[in-house]
Amino acid sequence: MDFEKLTLVMRRLALEAGDKIMEIYNGPDFEVKSKSDDSPVTAADEAADALISAGLRAEFPDVALVTEEQSDSHDQSVSTFLIVDPLDGTKEFVHRRGDFTVNIAYVVDGSPVRGVVYAPAKDRLFFTDAGGNAVEEVAPFDKNTIGTLNPIRVSKPDNDGLYIVASKSHRDQATDDYLAKYNAKDMKSAGSSLKFCLVATGEADLYPRVGRTMEWDTAAGHAVLAGAGGDVIRFDDHQPLRYGKDGFANPFFIAYAPGVDLKEA
């Protein structure tokens, strides 16, 4: 894989998809449909998916592609592939809360090695550079030219006062019970894959997810966090979270900055 080209293409497609999403977000009321699993989908999900999928297939025709909105792509058995969530945080989008992202990642042998996470309503753009290092680009963004980049790095956690981030739309008692095991200095909620990015930038130390997610929800954020020195492990056995699983469903997981005194489930 030409990682220089991959970085430019993923970044450009994420920005183009963000424009499509914001046209609908800032427009009149839009229809919200339900998929077979009862999760919401909008015209923004579908338009962004079509744009990103076409762009990736044109540029990387020989690489397998998995996207949330194309169910026929979910039947593959792959370990190296591109994976897309065109609009992560559809509930945040529907309620116009702004915490939604465009996620594009490249997985090699089960590990997400490159990714881009773009939050168009918040003007925040995170991605891995050609060398796999995590950066945040300073707005405004030009689709064809990378602007000012700030390298990002996880924090050095203080286990006597951790900064913890949890899901905004999927918070439950199991999550609260687990979080109670830690000494928290600050607890915040965020939607979509932004939670991984908050750990990557040092704005949070720990993000546990005790609930259902799919690989397209997490791969891009996982890649950004890994590029910033962080890690993502399974909740049950603390082994690395892997990709290309049957059906692309994730187990519960913990994203964190090294140095956090991880608690057992």
- Residue ranges of the annotated binding site for substrate are 68, 87-90, 217
In angstroms, the CA 256 to CA 226 distance is 10
**How far apart, in Å, are the Cα atoms of 182 and each of 178, 179, 203, 253?**
8, 6, 17, 16
Annotated binding site for Mg(2+): 68, 85, 87-88, 217
Q: Assess contact for 114 and 105: CB atoms under 8 A.
A: yes
In angstroms, the CA 100 to CA 87 distance is 7
Identity of residue 93: F
In angstroms, the CA 51 to CA 168 distance is 28
H-helix segments, 72-111: 90-94
The structure tokens 């397998």 sit at: 64
Annotated binding site: 68, 85, 87-90, 217
Reading the block at residue 123, the tokens are 């003007």
